[in-house]
Every structure is written in C-alpha cells, then in structure tokens.
Structure 1
Amino acid sequence: MDKIERITALHRILKAARYPVTVKRLQEELGCSRATAYRDLAYLRDALMAPIEGDGEAGFRYAADETDRFELPGLWLSSEELYSLLAAQQLLMRTGGGVLAGALAPLQNRIESLLTAHAGVDHWPVERVRVIPHRGRRLDEASFRSVASAVLERRQINFEYRARSTDERTRRTVSPQRITHYRDNWYLDAWDHERDGLRSFAVDRISNARVIEEPARDLPDSELNQHLASSYGIFSGEPKGWATIVFSAKTARWVADEQWHSRQEGRFLPDGRYELKVPYSASRELLMDILHYGADAEITAPAVLREQAKSLLELALSNYGR
C-alpha cells in the first residue's frame, strides 16, 4: 500500500470511528510500521488540515463537531485530478467568480503544498498551466456571483431567465443544486419550484438575480445524477434513444480515444471504421457534434436522427446556392 492509499484508508478509518482508534489497530489495518502510522497521522493533520485529536496512548479520532464537514481534497490522487484543480483555478479567475474563488481561498495553501510535495520541487509553477477558452459566452458577473452564492449558501434564488430557444423571458424561483462548467460555459442545475422539476439554466441567460432567505431544497445526489447526467451532453432527462454513428477509418484514430458519454459503446469495424453508440435525450447538441466531422461521420440509427441530420445538411447546402 503506497502513501496515497494509506492516507485515503486512514481517513476512512478515522471518519467512521465512533471512539479513538489505537496506533496498533492503525498499523494492522494500514499494514505499516508504528513510525509510518505516526507520519501519516501528522501528514493528514498538518498538510490536509484534518481535525485529528487524541494521542498515542488513548488513540486518535476526528473531532466530533468536524467529522461530517471534513473530506479529503480528493484532487491530489492523480495527475489528471491535480491538473483539473489548476485548470479550475484559472477558470474561476477568468470568469470573475469572486464568490467561488473566495470559498476556495482557505484551501489554496493546502493545495499548493500537496502539488509541491508531489512534484518534488520547492515551488509549483502554477503559471505554467494554461486554460484556453473556446467559444465561451459572455455572462453578467453580478448574476454569476449571485448564482454561486446561492449554491454555496444553500439558499433559493430568484432571477429573470431568457430562454435561448424561444427568446421568452420568465421569472424563476429555484433551489440551486449544482453549478456546472460545461464546454467553456456555466450552467445552474436547480429545482424549479413553479414547474416542480429539475432544470438546467445557462448562467449567461440569467439576469436580475437575487438570493432570497428561503433555504434551498436539497435533492439526493442519485436523483441529480440520474436526471442531469444520464443523457448526452448538458441536456437533462432520461435518454430517449441511442444514436449509432460510424466514423471513417481516418477519423477513427481520434474518435476512438474520445469520451462522448459515460455509457458509450464503441468498436472498430473490419474495414477500419469506428462505430460509436451513445444515449441521448435531445438531438440538437448531438447533431452539432456529429456534423462537426462532416463527411467523415454517418448516422446509421435511429432513422429519425439520420433524417434530422440530412435536413440540416440540405439547409446548409441551400445557403450556397446551386
């Protein structure tokens, strides 16, 4: 068991413990020496700011009033997660997310210490990691801060929403669940009280936002994941079908390594082409991604999605005359 695995296991042991855990028990469960157990306890307490209390005689545990609140940062377990953290920091700075940046500020020194320890250098070169935006939409920073505040403070928020599809303006009161960054744009996943259901709102379409005192209604993570992450892209709802797309042998070298959806299915065909199957609930975003590949992608199923793509291509061709 390496250090990362031991720290993770140590955290689980202390978080579940109702009474102090002896060093001998920690040695047995972690499979390490007494000295290593003490070093891991010190690292968890000093570097990760865990609320450890106790001593070598009585044993160790998490402070009762902090047990539920403390979690491992989680972003230091792999190189991908470390990079994601740095990317998120730049992302927040770029979008003017003062509230989120302020909430993360207490973690900054802890995060940098972890990065430095993993890199084996005296200073982690944060400035050498870049996040380049692509087709991000401008948003009102005041509205973004109100949305972020409502999410973090678990309070309801009232705002004016201008739907991009219909250009209709409506007033909404929602219980925010999550703020999501997807394809360089921010979305608010929330429970809409007037419509009695989960909805996703593009933050750049929100204006005149006001956080109200009413506490937000919290939904279980399982329900949020099922509704908001079960179908293709940012569109919510249960999948209505599966799309099958066949890519040319040339494009297959790229597409085979791409993650379009957590439940996707893919295989190489005998002639070198690549067949990809993804679930989807709304076709608009999926069609945009497929048409991005032009002649190197063909929808083979379902027939209705194939016809929609055909109609879009014909309309595009009509813009160039005969």
Structure 2
Amino acid sequence: MSQELTMSMERHSLYRIHRIDQLIRQSIYPNVPKLSRWLEVSTRTIERDIEFLRDSLGAPLKYDPKRRGYYYTRLDFSLPTVKLTAGELVTLYLGQKLLAQYQGTPFETSIIRAFAKIRTFLPEEVEVDFANLDEFLSFDVKPLRGEEQQVAHTFQQIAAALRDHETVKITYYTASRDSENTRLVDPYHLRCYQGAWYLIGYCHRRCEVRTFALDRIRKLKPVRRYFRVPPDFSLEEYLGHSLGIERGRQLYQIEIHFDAEAARWVKERVWHPSQEIILQEDGSLLLKLVLSGLGEVKRWVLGFGAHAEVLSPPELREEIAKEAACLAAKYQQ
C-alpha cells in the first residue's frame, strides 16, 4: 500500500473520529447503524472507530440501552491534537526513516503504530509533503545483517532474558576460527552497530564480558539460572576504547599519518573521544588514538589505501604491511 493511500485512509479515519465525537456531544445518543448511515461507511468500520475512540484515545464512552446509543460519562474529555511546525514534521519524517534499524525486532510493530497515531492526528493540510521528501532526502541505513527471521527470533529471546536477568546457553559461530562452540552467557546489553545487532554479556567460558553478533548465534536456550549485573559494569567504559563494537584485551597508543588529500576529510570528523589531531605544514596530519584491539582500526586504515600510514604500534604497522603485500601480489600475477 502506497504512503499516499495510507495517509489518505488515516485522515478519513480522523474525520470520522472527530465527527463521531461531535455527534456524541450533541446528546443525540448515536448508535452504530445510525453512524454507519450518516458517515456512509460499513457498520464494522464504525465499530472499529468506536473501539479506537474508547480503547486507544481513552474516551469515557458508554452505551445507553434505553436510548440505544452512545454517550460520554464525562464532558471534560477532548480529542488529542498534534500541532507541529514544518521543521518538526520533517524531523518526524527523518526519525521514522532512521528507526528502520529496528526492523525485525519486537519494537518494529510498536514504532509503526506510534507513527500511524501521530500521522492520524496531523491536520488535514500540512506544509510538508511527506511523499515528495523521498525525492530529495535519503538515508544509508544499513540493512539488518543476517537472516531477518532468525535474528528477530534470537533478539526476542535475548530481550526476554535481559528483562528477567536469565542466563542463556548459546551455540556461537566464531568466524575467525570457522568453528562453533557452546557457552553460557549472562546478557547485559543489546547494541545495534552498522546494521548488526550485538549481545554484550558475561561469558562463563571465558570468565569475562564479551561481545557476540546475533547473526552468529546458531542456537539459544534460557537455562532458568538468574544473575545480577555487577554494579561496577559500565557500558560506556566497556566500549570506551573501541572504534565501534570490537574490544581487545589491551590498550594501544595508535598514531596514523594521513597525507594532505585524506587529511582534508579526516580532520572534519570525531572518530573517537581519545583522538588528537596534529596538523602538518604540508597539509597532512597525524591522528593519535587510544584503542583496545587492532582489528577495527586495521580495517579502517586499509580503507584509505596509500593515503594513510600507521606509525605505531609496531604490531598494527606490521599487520597493515602484510595486507598491503598480499594485495600487491594479487595484482602482480
């Protein structure tokens, strides 16, 4: 169903709700057959409108069997209204687009319903054409990584375990070793990063907090064993020295030199809270970071090709050199 048609249907529904409200306030005790006839819709549609008015909008609506019609038990009730500026309407549109990352999670249905209710109570004429916004605004929202139904099911199970503080038993696929293993995990947090959902929790096998990609969890089962999140656990501290989601076992003082071409782009962004940028006279720059783990920063630096050179630590410089040598060998064949 197109966005324009959906909006039109919602606004027709809004008109009926307002009209039903007006008729009830006139103390003429309208009933379903009469409303159906007056508003020229089916009785089932009117029944849904009555349910929405009573259950979703909280209308103090009662049916009088003697007068055979509806009335309000309190006259101080009024329909909610949403008055938004053009800028706020655009923000609402942007927010709906950005929430696409929750597709496949238990939040998806609630988000759709919430935005539908807001759109329903917008005025008939607004200054912003939502349909035309798609022509000049777009988002690179990463699609959900992994098979959607499988990830959604895993998400729901973990969300329940998070709520109940229940330990889960997972069979996890480790890509670097191309193998599966089973472990007990106390779920602490769910995090979405670049289109992928991750579980952060205490791993009983490694006796430390670890990060697990949901699309690599092959099996999951609650074990009816319960835990408490340690009071000293902090998500900010856990991920504080991560460039994104990966976390290593030790801190590294990282220095990367970017030539003048890359520097113009690199200096415009905050890549990490620890960063220090030192501009050079030739237009290049030196970027200093304090990170735990080298995997993410290695992949990030490789994305700049010859425009970036790792100066330290030696381990990262060596890893980059190996990758560069392998890449060069492929193109020399």
Please give the TM-score of this superposition, normalised by the length of structure 2.
0.60
2:275 counterpart letter in structure 1: Q
1:91 counterpart letter in structure 2: Q
- Name which of 136, 142, 153 aligns with 1:145: 153
* CA offsets 1:162-200 (integer angstroms, 9 cap, x no match): 101111211122121222121222211111133321110
- Name which of 295, 304, 315 aligns with 1:304: 315
Q: How many residues align?
A: 239
1:166 counterpart letter in structure 2: R
Equivalent residue for 1:27?
none
Equivalent residue for 1:28?
none
In structure 1, C-alpha distance between the alignment counterparts of 2:252 and 2:94, rounded to whole Å: 31
Cα drift, residue 106 of structure 1: 7.1
Q: Is the 8 A contact 1:148 1:179 kept in 2?
A: no
CA 1:159–1:295: 2 relative to 1, 3 Å: same
2:150 counterpart letter in structure 1: A
Partner-residue secondary structure (3-state), 2:331: coil
Cα drift, residue 83 of structure 1: 7.9
In structure 2, C-alpha distance between the alignment counterparts of 1:200 and 1:289, rounded to whole Å: 20
Correspondence 1:245-284 to 2 at 5 A: 245-284=256-295
Q: Is the 8 A contact 1:177 1:219 kept in 2?
A: no
CA 1:192–1:291: 2 relative to 1, 3 Å: same
In structure 1, C-alpha distance between the alignment counterparts of 2:145 and 2:307, rounded to whole Å: 28
In structure 2, C-alpha distance between the alignment counterparts of 1:321 and 1:285, rounded to whole Å: 27
Please give the TM-score of this superposition, normalised by the length of structure 1.
0.62
Cα drift, residue 272 of structure 1: 0.8
Q: Is the 8 A contact 1:90 1:131 kept in 2?
A: no
Q: Which moved more, 1:173-182 or 1:216-225?
A: 216-225
In structure 2, C-alpha distance between the alignment counterparts of 1:283 and 1:79, rounded to whole Å: 42
Equivalent residue for 1:200?
211
Equivalent residue for 1:91?
101
In structure 2, C-alpha distance between the alignment counterparts of 1:90 and 1:134, rounded to whole Å: 9
In structure 1, C-alpha distance between the alignment counterparts of 2:250 and 2:120, rounded to whole Å: 43
Cα RMSD (Å):
3.6
1:141 counterpart letter in structure 2: Q
Segments of structure 2 that go 5 or more residues without pairing to the other structure are 1-87
Partner-residue secondary structure (3-state), 1:320: helix
In structure 2, C-alpha distance between the alignment counterparts of 1:206 and 1:124, rounded to whole Å: 42
2:99 counterpart letter in structure 1: Q
Identity %, equivalent residues:
25
In structure 2, C-alpha distance between the alignment counterparts of 1:124 and 1:238, rounded to whole Å: 51
Q: Is the 8 A contact 2:278 2:287 kept in 1?
A: yes
CA 1:268–1:288: 2 relative to 1, 3 Å: same
* CA offsets 1:50-75 (integer angstroms, 9 cap, x no match): xxxxxxxxxxxxxxxxxxxxxxxxxx
CA 1:215–1:282: 2 relative to 1, 3 Å: same
Cα drift, residue 87 of structure 1: 4.3
- Name which of 78, 100, 103 aligns with 2:107: 100
Segments of structure 1 that go 5 or more residues without pairing to the other structure are 1-77
Correspondence 1:1-322 to 2 at 5 A: 85-93=95-103, 96-97=104-105, 99-102=106-109, 104=111, 108=115, 121=126, 125=130, 128=134, 130-133=138-141, 137-139=145-147, 141-151=149-159, 153-154=163-164, 155-220=166-231, 223-237=234-248, 239-321=250-332
In structure 2, C-alpha distance between the alignment counterparts of 1:221 and 1:122, rounded to whole Å: 50
CA 1:217–1:244: 2 relative to 1, 3 Å: same
2:146 counterpart letter in structure 1: R
Cα drift, residue 244 of structure 1: 0.8
In structure 1, C-alpha distance between the alignment counterparts of 2:119 and 2:90, rounded to whole Å: 16
Q: Is the 8 A contact 2:89 2:128 kept in 1?
A: no
Q: Which has the larger radius of gyration?
A: 2
